Amino acid sequence: MIVYVNTAILISNTNIIESHMSPKIKILHTADSHIGYRQYHSDVRRQDFLDAFSSVIDDAIEMKIDAVVHAGDLFDSRNPTLEDILDTMNILARLKGADIPFLAIVGNHESKQHTQWLDLFQNMGIAIRLGTVPYEIEEVAIYGIDSVAKSKIPLFDYSIFDSAGDEVQSMHEYKYNLLVMHQLINPFAFGEWDSEEVIQSLPFEVHAMLLGDYHKYEKTKVGDCWVTYCGSTERNSAAERETRSYNIITINDSGIDISRRNISTRDFEFIEVLLDDDAKAHETIFAAIKEHDVSGKVAFVDISGNTDIVVSFSEVEEFLLKQGALVPRIRDIRVGDEIADNALVSVSFSDPDEAVKEEIKKMDLTGAGLVIDEIVRDMLIGKSKLDNETEMRIGKLIEEMDFTDPIPHIKREVMDSPVEEPIPESICKETTVGYAGDLKNANEYVSEDEDEVEIDEEVMDKEVTEEKAKFATKKTTSVPKQYNLGDYL
């Protein structure tokens, strides 16, 4: 009897001790879900991205986490489909049902000009948009900074935190301050924004920076401040080879602890084939494929070796599909398709305007084409005004046009050139950049920075004039008898 009583006392003592210990706060840190991304034009892959996010939320519910922090790029696009929005709402509603707040910032991929998707979700009560006024969980304050375009980083005004925080700060001193950002941050080699600058410029001490944008897991310390990327929830490219993960941030009296948990996602299989015998090229490739289990996977066949050997990509694709691969991908290393891990950055983002201009030049657009491109690209022109603006500008162009000029010859010159075989999609290279982040392709990336895409009208006018001058000096071999407006535009 006495023993039993003593045990009871012991147990109750333990309980008293535990209740005096500071409560543990657990936060799940995730980012870069890219919901809506139909990778490799596959609907199954779209579902994979959704499922990956969904499984992270399931874990949060199961682990009875105190909050989910999302560091940007919940959506892959600023214009997700209704289906994407509904599916996401359902997942967030599940989290809400478990009484777990979803705290988020806006990433570069999903960023709209004014009101954000996150505002809609906040209005519905299924998300909270982080900002200069902290979201508090007991002694922990969580702040957020939406994605800032690279060119605007030097202009970032830290004082927005002074005014917003004053009232709250004076009322309450937090033990820990967490900052959520969607940015490439130093001290990591890919950094564009110096973490030390951020830490020193804010009016409160930062204990952890929970980051998104870079798709690979990273964790380090800058002084006493944790700086960490949780990684994307699904593989946005073949370069993202590592197992996907999210972070668990545990906070108690003794400090902040960050641990990593894996997400189970669809497998990517990489098959390397070296070709050195012409007669047996396909047999070699098929044999190599058979050595791998590609069933239900995104399967890459990387071909290297003798450049003279002709390979039918469609046959290899078919074989991969027959073996059960979900998505067949072939990379011809011989012609410069690089394996993502070793790939170097081939596109310069130092001047996106220049990059856009270069690409437009390659398209051989006519004067009218350039005008329309400019209108479509101009973020200050609303979608509903595109028609009117085009009509007005093209009308003006027609008014100013001298119809006694010889007809420009662009279209016929193109047609006169030898007909090129259409390139099978399988040969089209996957855009591979060394940075394992989310620069899926140059044009897409450029278009994210709304403010940066401004086409210099003067330069454009000059180019149009130059084009015209070129046409004027060109000898026309066969002038059609009847002129269409399209011949001039």
Q: How far is the CB of 239 from Mn ion (least distance, A)?
A: 13
Q: How far is the CB of 19 from Mn ion (least distance, A)?
A: 42
What are the φ/ψ torsions at residue 280 (nearest 5 degrees)?
Answer: -115, 25
* Span of 306-314, 354-362, 413-421, 434-442 interacting with Mn ion by CB under 5 A: 434-442
Query: Whose Cβ is closer to Mn ion: residue 32's or residue 269's?
Result: 32
Q: What CA–CA distance (Å, rounded) separates 364 from 346?
A: 23
Query: Whose Cβ is closer to Mn ion: residue 51's or residue 234's?
Result: 234
Query: Whose Cβ is closer to Mn ion: residue 73's or residue 317's?
Result: 73
Q: What CA–CA distance (Å, rounded) separates 239 from 70?
A: 22
Site for Mn ion in 213-232 (CB under 5 A): none
Q: Indicate which residue of 29, 34, 70, 109 is catalytic.
A: 109
Q: How far is the CB of 438 from Mn ion (least distance, A)?
A: 3
DSSP H helical ranges for 423-480: 442-448, 457-473
Q: Which two tokens stand for residue 147?
A: 């994605």
Among 25, 29, 32, 471, binds Mn ion (CB under 5 A): 32
Specify whether the CB–CB gap between 266 and 296 falls below 8 A.
Answer: yes
Q: Helix (H, G, I), strand (E, B), or coil: what is residue 65?
A: coil
* Beta pairing partners, 269: 299
Q: How far is the CB of 420 from Mn ion (least distance, A)?
A: 35
Q: What CA–CA distance (Å, rounded) separates 96 from 92?
A: 6
Q: How far is the CB of 369 from Mn ion (least distance, A)?
A: 32
Q: Helix (H, G, I), strand (E, B), or coil: what is residue 303?
A: strand
Query: Whose Cβ is closer to Mn ion: residue 105's or residue 256's?
Result: 105
Q: Which two tokens stand for residue 183?
A: 């940015």
Query: Whose Cβ is closer to Mn ion: residue 87's or residue 448's?
Result: 448
* Span of 85-93, 111-119, 252-260, 432-440 interacting with Mn ion by CB under 5 A: 432-440
| DSSP notation for 271-304 | EEEEE--GGGHHHHHHHHHHTS--TTSEEEEEEE
Q: What CA–CA distance (Å, rounded) separates 45 from 55?
A: 15
Closest CA to 313 of 296, 290, 335: 335
Query: Whose Cβ is closer to Mn ion: residue 110's or residue 337's?
Result: 110
Q: Taking CB under 5 A as the rule, does residue 448 contact Mn ion?
A: no
Q: How far is the CB of 56 from Mn ion (least distance, A)?
A: 15
Q: What CA–CA distance (Å, rounded) separates 308 from 316?
A: 17
Q: Taking CB under 5 A as the rule, does residue 146 contact Mn ion?
A: no
Query: Whose Cβ is closer to Mn ion: residue 236's or residue 366's?
Result: 236
Q: How far is the CB of 32 from Mn ion (least distance, A)?
A: 4
Dihedral of CA 455/459/465/470: which sign?
negative
Q: What CA–CA distance (Å, rounded) separates 432 from 347?
A: 10
Q: What CA–CA distance (Å, rounded) separates 212 from 175?
A: 24
* Span of 46-54, 66-74, 293-301, 475-483 interacting with Mn ion by CB under 5 A: 66-74
Q: How far is the CB of 269 from Mn ion (least distance, A)?
A: 24
Q: What CA–CA distance (Å, rounded) separates 323 from 325?
A: 6
* Span of 47-55, 151-159, 220-228, 437-445 interacting with Mn ion by CB under 5 A: 437-445
Among 438, 448, 449, 452, binds Mn ion (CB under 5 A): 438
Residue 233, classified by CB atoms within 10 Å of its CB into exposed (0-12), middle (13-18) or buried (19+), is buried
Q: What angle do CA 221, 261, 270 make, to 5 degrees?
A: 105
Site for Mn ion in 67-86 (CB under 5 A): 73
Residue 34 a catalytic site member:
no
Query: Whose Cβ is closer to Mn ion: residue 66's or residue 438's?
Result: 438
* Span of 31-39, 279-287, 365-373, 469-477 interacting with Mn ion by CB under 5 A: 31-39
Residue whose beta carbon is closest to Mn ion:
438
Q: How far is the CB of 210 from Mn ion (least distance, A)?
A: 15
Q: Helix (H, G, I), strand (E, B), or coil: what is residue 171?
A: helix
| DSSP notation for 94-142 | HHHHTT--EEE---TTT--SSS-HHHHHHHTTS-EE--SSPEEETTEEE
* Span of 3-11, 266-274, 337-345, 435-443 interacting with Mn ion by CB under 5 A: 435-443
Query: Whose Cβ is closer to Mn ion: residue 73's or residue 84's?
Result: 73
Residues binding Mn ion: number (CB under 5 A): 3
Number of other residues whose CB lies within 10 A of the CB of residue 397 = 16
Q: What are the residues whose beta carbons fall under 8 Å from the beta carbon of 106, sequence distance 6 or more?
A: 72, 116, 118, 129, 146, 147, 182
Site string for Mn ion, 86-125 (x = CB under 5 A): ----------------------------------------
Catalogue the active-site residues.
109
Q: For binding to Mn ion (CB under 5 A), which residues are involved?
A: 32, 73, 438
